[in-house]
Amino acid sequence: MELKPCPFCGSEAKIFGRHAVCTNDKCNHQYDTFKIYPPVWNTRPIEDKLAERVNLYPELVEALKEAGLYHQGHYSEIGNKIREVLKKADVH
């Protein structure tokens, strides 16, 4: 299983026994400090939700262009379109 970097310091992670650990000896989340199973180690709910939002931007820009609101001063209409796209993706 490929591990994401340490969520606390960004260093490389590795599997040690049955647990994922940070390879940075100065990180507080190394070896016995936290015993985290690899699938849990790779879970990043905040980052994943942010990535969902970022991935919506091209669709959002396209929706604004189609509505004729892109680069115009119709800010309340733009806000409505933004909310519509985010609601559709269930990302608030």
Mean pLDDT within 81-89: 77
Tens of pLDDT, residues 6-54: 888 889 988 888 888 888 888 866 555 567 778 888 888 888 888 888 8
Helix (H) or strand (E) holding 13: strand 13-16
Q: How many CA atoms lie within 13 A of 38 on its CB side?
A: 9
Whether the per-residue pLDDT at 67 is higher than 70: the answer is: yes
Residue 9 tokens, joined: 């310091």
Answering whether pTM is above 0.75, one says: no
